[in-house]
Amino acid sequence: MKLSESHLIQLSAVVDAGSVSKGAAALGLSQPAMSRALAQLEARVGKPLFIRDRRPLQATPLGMQLAAHGRRILAESRRATEAVQSLLRGTRGLVRVGGVPFFMDAMVSRIIANFQNHHPDVMFQQSYGNLSEVALGLQSDQLDLGIVPLGTSGEPEGLEFIPILAARNVACCRQGHPLQRAKRLTTADLGRYPWVAPLPGSPLLADLFAIRSSLGSSDLDIRYSGGSLLSVINYMAETDALAVLPFSVYFAERKQNRIAVLPVDIPQPQRNLGVLRLAGPRGNPAAASFADFVVESFNSMQQLILRHENAVVWRR
């Protein structure tokens, strides 16, 4: 025997409401339609579902059991409806986001956490990659969003770029570094200490070479390379090594009080950090909602970052 799930839902509504008319109103049905549905269900099971001539309506033991099943079906149906609506609103789903390692660790992971504080049903898969790798991930449907720096060459074909922050690099050292005590710090002083090199393929690697050129040096003493942001900071905290970092990364880590900015004006890249995604219609509402959240987050932070940057007395 197969029972209609809609009939069970209608039965539960009548039992809970205590009358056919109220049960019908709760489901947006007419009273005659509800009466027909109950009659069909009763005929199907071959036993009465309500005690005759009892007002308000009182279900038989069988009617109560079937109504309980109807409530569960209705609850699951409503949960399914809410899940679909949440997916369409962008408050539920999966977002696959990739980007440059230092920035993902320092800034984006925090933004993801803040987003999930508002939308806990959105799951994230975070990965690392530079522009070419992220672009390939977007084009092959392995990523929904990228957080990458982009120069004057423009975004790859078929992708769109939303700038969120102008690139600004700084030379960093550990707290208490000898260069912090220098009264007349110059760029030449940077060549007297070892350096940390970023991951291969990172735009920061080209920036490090630009610093080397500005020093008039054919080489820099690179003692450590290829580490994560945490490992680079840990290494710097125990040595006199220097590193080139985005100012925004230093800004995000400043409260740890482990690294400091050297107030030397180093060569600056001509690029912006931003959100990279496929051009055209948004296929993933949760990813679109997160992209908007990233832009809003940086709009809120930009003035604070700028004020902090302007507080440094830069020396050429």
- Give the span between the Cα atoms of 74 and 17, in whole angstroms: 15
The four Cα atoms 248, 251, 257, 260 give a dihedral, to 10 degrees, of 60
Interior angle at CA 163, CA 248 and CA 264, nearest 5: 35
pLDDT band at 1 (very low <50, low <70, confident <90, very high): low
Tell me the average pLDDT across 91-105: 90
Which tokens in the block code for residue 63?
Answer: 């009617």
Tell me the average pLDDT across 97-124: 93
Better-scored residue on pLDDT, 95 or 90: 95
| Closest CA relative to residue 308, chosen from 260, 251, 244, 243 | 251
Tell me the average pLDDT across 145-156: 89
The full set of domains in the chain, from first to last, is: 5-88 (1.10.10.10), 90-167+271-310 (3.40.190.10), 169-262 (3.40.190.10)
The pLDDT assigned to 89 comes to 63
Under the phi-then-psi rule, with left for phi > 0, alpha for psi from -120 to 50, and beta for the rest, what region is 226?
left
Interior angle at CA 182, CA 249 and CA 172, nearest 5: 15
In this predicted structure, the answer to whether residue 16 has a pLDDT above a threshold of 90 is no
The pLDDT tens digits of the residues spanning 192-214 come to: 999 999 888 888 888 888 888 88
Q: What is the DSSP string of 257-271?
A: -SEEEE-B-----SE
The pLDDT assigned to 299 comes to 86
- Give the span between the Cα atoms of 242 and 177, in whole angstroms: 9
The pLDDT assigned to 316 comes to 45
The pLDDT tens digits of the residues spanning 155-191 come to: 888 999 999 988 889 999 999 999 998 888 888 888 8
Pick the range with the lowest mean pLDDT from 25-29, 161-165, 176-180, 236-240. Answer: 25-29
pTM above 0.85, yes or no: no
Phi, psi angle pair for 84, to nearest 5°: -65, -45
Which tokens in the block code for residue 167?
Answer: 């690139």
CB atoms within 10 A of CB 45: 14
